[in-house]
Amino acid sequence: MERQTDHTEEKNFHYTPWVVGLTIAINLLVLILFLMPEVERFSHLDLTFLPMMNAIFNSFTTVFLAAALFFIKQKNIAMHRRFIYAAFGSTSLFLVTYLTYHSLAESTSYGGTGMIAAVYYFILITHIILAAVIVPLALISFFRGISMKVEKHRKIARWTMPLWLYVSITGVIIYLMISPYY
């Protein structure tokens, strides 16, 4: 009987304020970092390892999402859930290293030219836009999943999973393309 009550309380959890608050906070913080003037006082720190860490965390996120997708197709909810938690963990670590790097280090410009530059900027722009979009989608999917709102979770997860995979994969591609210029 106690389990039923706990499950009912989970279903009635109001996650909307969390989704809205985290979405605004994360996207606003990233925007502020890009609009903020360069910081001179930390120029002596060598933070060039952080972009590689970002790519590593994005790689882990990709693997975790692919595993979560595999397990949900097998109807193994427990393993699906574990890999989604892992994806959120690696994405959170990415966010910490990303924000740290962009708040303390100088921006790096892409040095390629011609068609490869066009490809780079296309990937970069779509990555940035979808990274902002994925924040609320992933949070809504997550909260609907842990609240066992299965049908609502499925409806949004159909969009969230491919977009989140795209963002995590293109994050690695962007790193590989710009890494010679660090």
Distance CA 31, CA 20 (A): 16
Q: What is the pLDDT at residue 8?
A: 43
Helix axes 77-104, 49-73, angle to 10 degrees: 160
Q: What is the pLDDT at residue 77?
A: 96
Is the Cβ–Cβ distance between 179 and 52 less than 8 Å? yes
What's the predicted TM-score (pTM) here? Answer: 0.82
Which domains, and CATH codes, for the chain? 2-181 (1.20.120.80)
Distance CA 163, CA 165 (A): 5
Q: What is the pLDDT at residue 5?
A: 42
Distance CA 81, CA 3 (A): 19
Distance CA 109, CA 181 (A): 7
Quick: pLDDT tens for 35-83.
777 656 566 778 889 999 999 999 999 999 999 999 999 999 999 999 9
Distance CA 180, CA 32 (A): 26
Q: Write down the residue that tokens 């949900």 correspond to.
A: 72
Quick: pLDDT tens for 138-162.
999 999 999 999 999 999 999 999 9
Quick: pLDDT tens for 75-129.
999 999 999 999 999 999 999 999 888 888 888 899 999 999 999 999 999 999 9
Q: What is the 8-class DSSP label of residue 37?
A: P
Q: What is the pLDDT at residue 12?
A: 57
Q: What is the 8-class DSSP label of residue 181?
A: G
Of residues 58, 90, 77, 82, the one with CA closest to residue 165:
58
Handedness of CA 146, 148, 154, 156 (dihedral sign): negative
